[in-house]
Structure 1
Amino acid sequence: MTSTSSPATPVPAAAATPLLRHRGFRSLYVAGAVSGLGSQVSQVALPLLAVTALGAGPGEVGLLSALGTLTVLLLGLPAGVWVDRSRRRSLMILADVARAAVLLSVPVAWWMGGLGMGQLYAVAVLMGAGTMVFDLAAVSVLPGLVGRDRLMAANSLLVGTQAGMDVTGKSLGGVLVQAVGAPVALLLDALSHLWSAAWLRHVPEPAPPDRPATAEGVGRQIAEGVGFLLGNTVLVALCVMGAMANLAFPLLSVLLPVLLVRQLGYPEWVLGAYLAAGGLGTLAGSATAHLFGRRLGAGRTTLLLSLATAPPAFVIPFLDRGPWLWAAAGAWFVLTFRTGVNNVLLVSVRQRIIPDGMLGRANATIRLVLIGAVGLGGLLAGVLGEVWGARASLWAGAVIMALSWLPVVLSPLRRQR
């Protein structure tokens, strides 16, 4: 097993200062929180706009969900090279401004009477590309900003706050769509990205990692990132387990607007509240991840949680009126609790293992697998929904989620501390 890692990056100011008093980290933290709140509103508003205003069916909703994530399949690996060659803060600001412009096109087209599914598909693709570049740059800039010895604490704050925005944003999204309409909700998300870009100006701008005098080609650098990942069995296990979970989550959630709002007749705010239960789960998981990591280690925690959360996955397909709605929401909370823990512990493991000069490319390779699985899950949800109905998608997601412990038990990750 490859165990290549780079020594901790010396960051005296960050090491001596509480994280939220360190100006650079605080700016990154606030920028992520603000744009995260708006993005969660859009995750509710965009499919609801398609279903309620444009009459989209299960296949169209599934495609809308998939397009943003399948962008990674085309652009993910070159984007990793770009991140490793470029100034990462500048890329994050550019991604924020671009996402704001894309989102603004939706309310403008709506108010002019020209909005259609084609434009929503284009928005999904462009938003996926912008989010991919932003996230790759953010995860790559963090070790140099806070130091590798503080990654778990920094990730706990970032993931926990993102989960809080998940709860607030999805709940707010359902309420906003019902009160003022989906176009206005998307307008608010656009403004949140502009606010994020303003905060990012205060994040220190590290120089791009040193490259050899004779620059390697993009293909060669992509191959280096892929080779590093495939040479480390812990990273491979993380990818496979994450891909299974990421394939399952859209199967369990993409067709909820069709099932809850159209078939069961619930108002839009119920969908927002259901999804917000997942945000609470992620928040609780990220807040307690360091306790699990300290007591059990990252690998053992991952294995035990994967086994413990398998049975609740089979509750979600029974979602219906009455008590089954609450039971399914509780099961959704449990599954996302696991995600909150994993997002802190396993992202920190990745950031410790991967050297600074490889962070963009190796993380791009991992993201290609993980986000590609989300896109595939969205497409599969649409196909299953069209052929056998929305509940078939929920059952498929439950089975895949329940088996996602297998890569952990078959790898050295189960002993990883």
Structure 2
Amino acid sequence: MATQLLDRVPPLLHQVTFRRFWTAQTVSYLGDQVSTIALPLTAVLALNASAAEMGFLGALATLPNLLFALHVGGFVDRKGRLRRMMILCDLGRAAALVTVPIAYALDVLTLPQLWLVALVTGTLAMLFNVASNTLFASLVDRADYIQGTSLTRGSFSFSWVMGPSIGGLLVQILSAPLALVTDVLSFLGSASLLRSISPQETAPEKQTSSSHIRDGLRFVLRTPVLRAKFIGSGLLNLFYTVYFTLFLLFIARELRLTPGMIGVALGLGAVGALLGSFVTGWFSRRLGVGPTFLLGSVVFPGALALVPFATPDKWVAFGLVVLAEFFSGMGLMLCDITGSSIQQALTPDRFRSRVQGAYLGLINGVRTAGALIAGGLGTWLGLRPALWLAIIGGVLSCLPLVFAPVPGMRSLPDQAE
């Protein structure tokens, strides 16, 4: 029986170095998601924060991705020492978060302190993710990119399923500020696991920061598949942000779903993403990597069309929202895992962090624009028509991939130069 169970474990997890790297990454992701619940609830429950103050807190947590992602990519490629950088990011986040329960215990906790903690932890999370993406290629052979990406994206989806639930439970038991202590422990655990491995890292190039950034952007623009991926992903994230900005308002106001029903629906969407992370390899082997990427890029936004079809009947609406979130989550993983694997395969080691930094900067930039556009469309067109427009735009965002060498890509491409 034990032998049969071991045979079902993905081969990469038999490798001690990758297993510890993956576990550290999973623990760190989980800590991030606990923070997304515990930190805002600290502001609400301990400091009576207003809606505007909460909005500012949320913006500060994501602002570093928009402002610094491209420069961080150049910095990581130039400096190297990725494992050490990830350890410092974990320790830095632990140090920043532990100040919250300490200040709360001393009765000196303030909103500006929470804002600063959100900014610091958001910046370090971005740096950790960029470095992790680059170190991944030093640990995983090209032939195992799909399997390795499925594991890493699967753990990310797991954190989205479990992190908020664990965070909410801890807040209920311990209070919001004290719940952050467990988050601190998660980052210390991640750092400890990373210290136990010694991967062979690619030596960094000695260039100036501006040269690094310029060369990274030039590489993306001159590589047809990456260029199509960036354009398609940018458009997809723009339209999805428009959709999601209006989605909660639509299902709460027009469909009259309760907060509990909304939470269950979103949770099942995350379960769909988790399932998608396990079946992507199967789809890739049977359809090919490129067609699976294209399929996911259509299913992810296309499944959401079930939501504006919903009627005022609460339980029918709930069922349609659950189905939409579940299949959209699966499509997201088909798209995300294969797209990330293609990007990994095409990108030389010396460009990995810059390409990932450029991607993060693009995605977060269009999300900011999408949120602003959503407000205008929801006001001028109404919620349901605006949702339809966002979904149609999301499906059509696959067109750059259709006209690139993606549909005929049966296996991962060779590295580009």
Give TM-score scaled by structure 2 length.
0.81
**1: CA distance between counterparts of 2:97 and 2:253?**
25
The residue type equivalent to 2:399 in the other structure is L
Tell me how far 1:309 sits from its aligned partner.
4.3
Corresponding position: 1:363 with 2:347? no
Question: Identity, % of aligned pairs?
Answer: 34
Structure 1 window deviating more from structure 2 (299-308 vs 143-152): it is 299-308
**Deviation digits for residues 290-321 of structure 1, max 9, x if unmatched?**
11111222222222333344443233455985
**Deviation digits for residues 61-103 of structure 1, max 9, x if unmatched?**
5554443333123222221122122200000011111122222
Structure 1 window deviating more from structure 2 (103-112 vs 254-263): it is 254-263
Corresponding position: 1:199 with 2:199? no
Equivalenced residues, count: 396
Distance 1:326 1:246, change over 3 A: same
- Out of 300, 303, 308, the residue aligned to residue 294 of structure 2 is 303
1:43 is matched with 36
- Out of 289, 303, 311, the residue aligned to residue 312 of structure 1 is 303
1:347 is matched with 340
**1: CA distance between counterparts of 2:109 and 2:245?**
22
- Out of 154, 158, 170, the residue aligned to residue 152 of structure 2 is 158
1:79 is matched with 72
The residue type equivalent to 2:125 in the other structure is T
Distance 1:41 1:49, change over 3 A: same
Tell me how far 1:155 sits from its aligned partner.
1.1
1:168 is matched with 162
3-state SS in 1 of match to 2:328: helix
- Out of 136, 142, 145, the residue aligned to residue 139 of structure 2 is 145
**1: CA distance between counterparts of 2:368 and 2:122?**
10
**2: CA distance between counterparts of 1:377 and 1:121?**
24
1:3 is matched with none
Structure 1 contact 76–367 (Cα < 8 Å) conserved? yes
Tell me how far 1:323 sits from its aligned partner.
3.6
3-state SS in 2 of match to 1:364: helix
The residue type equivalent to 2:30 in the other structure is L
**1: CA distance between counterparts of 2:380 and 2:110?**
24
**1: CA distance between counterparts of 2:37 and 2:390?**
20
2:6 is matched with none
1:32 is matched with 25
- Equivalent runs, 1:110-189 vs 2, <5 Å: 110-113=104-107, 115=109, 117-189=111-183
The residue type equivalent to 2:127 in the other structure is V
1:102 is matched with 96
Corresponding position: 1:407 with 2:392? no
Structure 1 window deviating more from structure 2 (180-189 vs 390-399): it is 390-399
Structure 1 window deviating more from structure 2 (287-296 vs 198-207): it is 198-207
Distance 1:393 1:64, change over 3 A: farther
The residue type equivalent to 1:142 in the other structure is F
1:10 is matched with none
2:266 is matched with 275
3-state SS in 2 of match to 1:229: helix
**Deviation digits for residues 23-54 of structure 1, max 9, x if unmatched?**
21011111112122222223334445556663
**2: CA distance between counterparts of 1:386 and 1:48?**
30
Structure 1 window deviating more from structure 2 (81-90 vs 381-390): it is 381-390
Which one scores higher on RCO, CA 8 angstroms, separation ≥ 6?
1
Structure 2 contact 302–394 (Cα < 8 Å) conserved? no
**2: CA distance between counterparts of 1:293 and 1:189?**
36
- Equivalent runs, 1:3-82 vs 2, <5 Å: 18-50=11-43, 54-57=48-51, 63-82=56-75
Distance 1:97 1:274, change over 3 A: farther
**2: CA distance between counterparts of 1:182 and 1:220?**
44
Distance 1:385 1:370, change over 3 A: same
Structure 1 contact 100–193 (Cα < 8 Å) conserved? yes
Tell me how far 1:173 sits from its aligned partner.
3.1
3-state SS in 2 of match to 1:335: helix
Tell me how far 1:110 sits from its aligned partner.
4.4
3-state SS in 2 of match to 1:124: helix
Tell me how far 1:412 sits from its aligned partner.
2.4
**1: CA distance between counterparts of 2:215 and 2:189?**
36
**2: CA distance between counterparts of 1:72 and 1:131?**
9
**2: CA distance between counterparts of 1:279 and 1:297?**
25
**2: CA distance between counterparts of 1:28 and 1:380?**
39
1:221 is matched with 212
Structure 2 contact 138–201 (Cα < 8 Å) conserved? no
3-state SS in 2 of match to 1:293: helix
Structure 2 contact 89–124 (Cα < 8 Å) conserved? yes
Tell me how far 1:106 sits from its aligned partner.
3.5
